[in-house]
Amino acid sequence: MDKDFDYENLVIGAGTGGLSAGCIFKNQKREYVIIDKKEEIGLPVRSTGAVSLEWVNRIGMPTSDEIVASKIYNMSFRTDKGKRIDLNYDRPVGMVYDFTKYEKYLSAKFAGSLDIKMKTAVNEVKGNQISTNEGIITAKNIIMAAGPQSNLGSKLSKSQALVAYEETRSLDERNDFQMILWFSDLAPGGYFWDFADSRNTRKVGVCYYPHSGEAPKSVLKKFTDKYPELSGEVVHTMAHQIPLTGPSDQVVKGNQLWVGDMVNAVLNTTAGGLQGAFWSGKEAALACSADNPGQYQKVWDAQIKPWLLKHNALHRKIHSKGARSVGKYISIAKIMPKSVKLRVFGGL
């Protein structure tokens, strides 16, 4: 360790991006610490947990059965105007993490128990100094993984973010599809979903641009009233913001390496941030471990950012005129090869 600093590497945020970075530091046997203001890993829940299995395998995310709530073989994409396309496979093409178990697994089992200090809030980062509620910490490299609602990043306006709200409901598992997405003008710029969870629970939720100011719970209720088969006792809720601007150009700022939602590493077509957070956290830590932070910027520019930009452009096209635009793409997709349909509609 550089004796001029308390830590060689400091990670701010114990979410997916920060934990991914910690796993790399642990494997590389580099000195590090992760700090987070939360009291417990994996809480509050900030994700549906749905991910593409192709990308999970490509970037090395965990697949242990103990953290997987359900596997996705069959998907249906619909509009509330009657358009629909169904995708059925004989192998899983996606899965839904039990989000809390997933993040606890990253923190304790994926690479071994990580060095994490909870209940440590960051007030300011200036150079190599990190001001916290526990005092000043110094670090050579700082990975910024504090998420979209952190006081350390820029605030998102209503035009820059979707609001996501989900209710886990007491509903028997479906015998046809493990994932259904409904594109509706009730959810402008987004969609409603029904994801498999356990044998007797399902995740029903919405993400949308909150231009009208209507509360997400109210928006979801209107949709449930339209499709009463989705009604069920609520056993858990989840809510958060999802950045939907394009990915950032600059991710390395001096000794700071920014990852995850803080640099909009989000798949705009599915509003999924787990893959982007994991991948960017991993690459940032690999760059620090190589004593070359600029390496992360190169990987971002050459690999991560182009992938994100494709989803950003596709999201704009699909949602340009609400459910009508989505219906148009569904009609076009019906004549596509099965593998292409999966890439377009499965967020791969």
More confident residue, 265 or 323: 265
pLDDT on residue 348: 44
* Tokens 């996705």 belong to residue: 72
CA separation for the pair 198, 175 (Å, rounded) = 13
| Phi, psi (rounded to 5 degrees) for 87 | -125, 120
CB 10 within 8 A of CB 32: yes
Q: How far apart are CA 323 and CA 185, in angstroms?
A: 6
Q: Say if CB 120 and CB 36 are below 8 A apart.
A: yes
Q: Hey, what domains does the chain have and what are their CATH numbers?
A: 7-44+100-155+247-316 (3.50.50.60), 65-97+157-244+318-345 (3.30.9.10)
Question: pLDDT band for position 337 (50/70/90)?
Answer: low
Lowest-pLDDT choice from 68-72, 204-208, 278-282, 343-347: 343-347
264's torsion region: left (phi>0), alpha (psi -120 to 50) or beta?
A: left
**Start-to-end CA span in the chain (Å):** 40
CA 254 to chain centre: 26
pLDDT number for residue 243: 73
Highest mean pLDDT among 189-198, 294-303, 329-338: 294-303
| Banded model confidence at residue 339, pLDDT cuts 50, 70, 90 | low
pLDDT of 159 > 90? The answer is no
DSSP code at position 145:
-
**HSE (side-chain half, CA atoms, 13 Å) at 159:** 0
**196 Cβ contact list (under 8 Å, min separation 6):** 69, 70, 72, 96, 173, 174, 178, 179, 202, 203
Rounded Cα gap, residues 188 and 182, in angstroms: 12
Q: What is the pLDDT confidence band of residue 213, given thresholds at 50, 70 and 90?
A: confident
Among 22-36, 116-130, 148-162, 281-295, name the one with the lowest average pLDDT. Answer: 148-162
pLDDT at 39: 94
- The predicted pLDDT at position 248 comes to 93
* Most confident of the following: 9-18, 207-216, 312-321: 9-18
How far apart CA 241 and CA 271 sit, in angstroms, is 10
> Residue 325: what pLDDT?
74
The answer on pLDDT for 1 being more than 70 is: no
Task: Report how far residue 96's alpha carbon sits from residue 297's, in angstroms, rounded to the nearest whole number.
Answer: 30
Contact at 8 Å (CB) between 65 and 98?
Answer: no
The rounded distance, in Å, linking the Cα atoms of 18 and 114 is 11
| DSSP reduced 3-state for 103 | helix
The span from the CA of 260 to the CA of 275, in Å, is 9
- Average pLDDT over all residues of the chain: 89
265-321 pLDDT tens trace: 987 666 578 999 999 999 999 999 999 999 999 999 999 999 899 887 777 776 666
Buried b (16+ CB within 10 A) or exposed e, 156-166: beeebbbbbbb
Question: Angle at CA 19, nearest 5°, toward 279 and 342?
Answer: 35
Query: How far apart are the C-alpha atoms of 93 and 112, rounded to whole Å?
Result: 28
- Taking residues 16-27, what's their average pLDDT? 98
Q: What is the pLDDT of residue 326?
A: 73
Beta carbons of 116 and 41 less than 8 angstroms apart: yes
Q: Give the pLDDT band of residue 210 (cuts 50, 70, 90).
A: confident
pLDDT at 267: 78
pLDDT tens digits, one per residue of 51-95: 988 889 999 999 999 999 999 999 998 988 888 989 898 999 999
pTM, two decimals, is: 0.91
Q: Which residue intervals of the chain are DSSP H helices?
A: 16-27, 53-59, 99-108, 216-226, 274-289, 294-299, 305-318, 323-333, 338-345
Confidence of residue 147 (pLDDT cuts 50, 70, 90): confident
Query: Mean pLDDT, to the nearest integer, of 119-131?
Result: 96
Q: In whole angstroms, how far apart are CA 158 and each of 54, 213, 297, 315, 318? A: 32, 9, 28, 17, 19
Amino acid symbol at 47: S
Query: Which of residues 149 and 21 earns the better pLDDT score?
Result: 21
